[in-house]
Structure 1
Amino acid sequence: MSEACQPVDVAVGVLIDAAGRFLLTSRPAGKVYAGYWEFPGGKLEAGESVEDALRRELQEELGITIGAVHPWKVEMYDYPHALVRLHFCKVYDWQGEFEMREAQRMAWQTLPVEVTPVLPGTVPVLRWFAEERGFEGPTHRG
Structure 2
Amino acid sequence: MVLAASGIILENKKILLLQRSNYTEMYAGYWGCPGGRAEKGETAEQNVIREVKEECNLNFSPTKIIKTGIWQERTYYRFLGNWSGEIIIQEEEVIDYNWFSFDSAIKLQLSFDYKEILEILHKNNFL
Q: Output the TM-score relative to the length of structure 1.
A: 0.75
Question: Which position in structure 1 is the counterpart of 2:45?
Answer: 51
Measure, in 2, the Cα distance between the counterparts of 1:127 and 1:85.
21
Residues 1:126 and 2:118 are matched in the alignment: yes
* Unaligned residue ranges in structure 1 (runs of 5+): 1-5, 136-142
Question: Which position in structure 2 is the counterpart of 1:105?
Answer: 96
Question: Which position in structure 2 is the counterpart of 1:30?
Answer: 23
Residues 1-28 of structure 1, C-alpha deviations (whole Å, 9 max, x = no match): xxxxx4x3211100011x1211111111
| SS of residue matched to 1:93 | strand
* CA separation of 1:14 and 1:28: change in aligned 2, threshold 3 A: same
Greater C-alpha Rg: 1
Residues 56-84 of structure 1, C-alpha deviations (whole Å, 9 max, x = no match): 11111111222x3113221233xxxx333
User: How many matched pairs?
Assistant: 122
Q: Which amino acid aligns with 1:128?
A: I
The ranges of structure 1 where at least 4 consecutive aligned residues each deviate by more than 6 angstroms after the TM superposition are: none
Q: Do the aligned partners of 2:106 and 2:118 also contact (CA within 8 Å) in 1?
A: no
| SS of residue matched to 1:100 | coil
Measure, in 2, the Cα distance between the counterparts of 1:130 and 1:58.
22
Measure, in 1, the Cα distance between the counterparts of 2:53 and 2:116.
25
Residues 85-110 of structure 1, C-alpha deviations (whole Å, 9 max, x = no match): 2201112322x221111242111112
Q: Which amino acid aligns with 2:97?
A: M
Identity of aligned residues (%): 23
| SS of residue matched to 1:104 | strand
* Unaligned residue ranges in structure 2 (runs of 5+): none
Question: Which position in structure 2 is the counterpart of 1:116?
Answer: 108
